Amino acid sequence: MRFWLQRVAMAVLLLLSVSALTFGAMNILGDPLFNILGPVAGDVNNPDSVKLIEKAKAEFDLDEPLVVRYGLWLSDFVRGDMGVQFSSDGQPPVSDLIKERLPRTATLVLLAQLMAISIAIPWALVTASRAGRLSDRISTMNTFFLVAMPNFALAIILKFVLSIKLGWMPLTYVANDPLSSRLWQMVLPALTIALPVAAVFQRLLRTDLITTLQQDFILMARAKGLSRRRVLFRHALRPSLFSFITVVGLNTGALIGGSIVVETIFRIPGIGSSLVESVLREDFPVVLAIVMIVAVAFVLINLLVDILYSIIDPRVRR
């Protein structure tokens, strides 16, 4: 119990420091006023401009010291209000923007991870049980190919073959389609993300499985007369999952902000594309909101990974 309380306290501390650092860095390195008004911000001799400047300063509390502004942002954020966009007349509010886009990215990432895991585990089991044989070597070459291939290239190849040539898959994502067709439209982008990720997961799990398969308790399981398959699934898999779970967790967090290429190619208006747009426009509230979402996702997933550890291995239970 104490352990989990500590974990939660650490998580809160981590989120506070991430937000403070991001908030501070953006405000010190950029000029919020300029980012809101554009060139008008420097036109201090024109009474019309001055009026606009005064209005913006009042709206965004720009005259307050940095610490106060951070405090204001934070109290809004924890209540679910992520502020107003600097650009596009401040519409829609950042919270609405995130609410609209986050589910798409989350679905994409989740679907991709599910695919990656369900490809990687059987793949690793097969190759580990035949380590060093021809099929294992061919598989190794394939993993290197998948990992080395840039994401956009894989996306284009998959799109070309499966959508354009064969016509099996939809070409792009359409935000107004019904849920079922939108899910179907997510399959190809998810696969694009999943394939190289699955290759990495497979390499990792294969290595751990090979180590486990040399353990005494595997020989013991064989001596009981269990079939190869049963030895693999019941005895070897579970103790081999630790680094696999860790990497799946870290990777899921990274994908939330990092699926930009795939989102662009398949025209999915998600978090990734918002992040790039807002960074280019120096739209601080949007950047900050996305950074916080990714950070929260990391924290939650790692908490989940710790819980999974204790489920898998009785020795780490407290």
Partner 1 sequence: MSDNVETELLLEISDLKTHFRTPRGTVRAVDGVSLTLERGKALGIVGESGSGKTILSRSIMGLLPRSGVIREGSVKFRGQEILGKSTKEMQSVWGREMAMIFQDPMTSLNPVMKVGRQIAEPLMLHLGMNKAEARQTAEKLLRDVRIPEATRRLDQYPHELSGGMRQRVMIAIALACGPTLLFADEPTTALDVTVQAQILELINEQRRDRNMSLILVTHDLGVVAGFTDEIAVMYGGKLVEKAPTKVLFERMKMPYTEALLESIPRLDQPSHSRLAVIPGRPPDLVNPPQGCRFAPRCAYVRDRCLTEEPQLTAAETPGHVYACHYPVGSPEYHERRVELSKVSTVVGGSI
Residue 239 within binding range of partner 1, rule CB under 8 A:
yes
The CA-atom distances, in angstroms, between 31 and each of 42, 88, 304, 309 are 11, 17, 39, 45
Residue 126 within binding range of partner 1, rule CB under 8 A:
no
Residue 312 within binding range of partner 1, rule CB under 8 A:
yes
Residue 216 within binding range of partner 1, rule CB under 8 A:
yes
| Amino acid occupying residue 198 | A
Write down the residue that tokens 């898999």 correspond to.
237
Q: Select the residue interacting with partner 1 from 8, 9, 220, 304 (CB under 8 A).
A: 220
61-100: contacts with partner 1 (CB under 8 A): none
Residue 56 within binding range of partner 1, rule CB under 8 A:
no
Q: Considering beta carbons, is residue 101 or 235 the nearer one to partner 1?
A: 235
Q: Tell me the DSSP string of 293-306.
A: HHHHHHHHHHHHHH
Number of helices (H), then strands (E), in the chain: 14, 0
Say how far apart CA 284 and CA 289 lie, in whole Å.
8
How many residues touch partner 1 under the rule CB under 8 A: the total is 22
Residue 227 within binding range of partner 1, rule CB under 8 A:
yes
Residue 224 within binding range of partner 1, rule CB under 8 A:
yes
Pick the piece of the chain touching partner 1 (CB under 8 A) from 28-36, 55-63, 86-94, 228-236.
228-236
Nearest residue to 304 via CA among 258, 252, 236, 235: 252
Write down the residue that tokens 């990687």 correspond to.
120
Say how far apart CA 204 and CA 197 lie, in whole Å.
11
127-146: contacts with partner 1 (CB under 8 A): 133
64: left (phi over 0), alpha (psi -120 to 50) or beta: beta
Q: Select the residue interacting with partner 1 from 182, 222, 267, 281 (CB under 8 A).
A: 222
Q: Select the residue interacting with partner 1 from 32, 60, 235, 295 (CB under 8 A).
A: 235
Residue 233 within binding range of partner 1, rule CB under 8 A:
no
Q: Considering beta carbons, is residue 65 or 132 the nearer one to partner 1?
A: 132
Say how far apart CA 48 and CA 41 lie, in whole Å.
11
Q: Residues in the site for partner 1, rule: CB under 8 A?
A: 133, 215-217, 219-228, 234-235, 238-239, 312-315
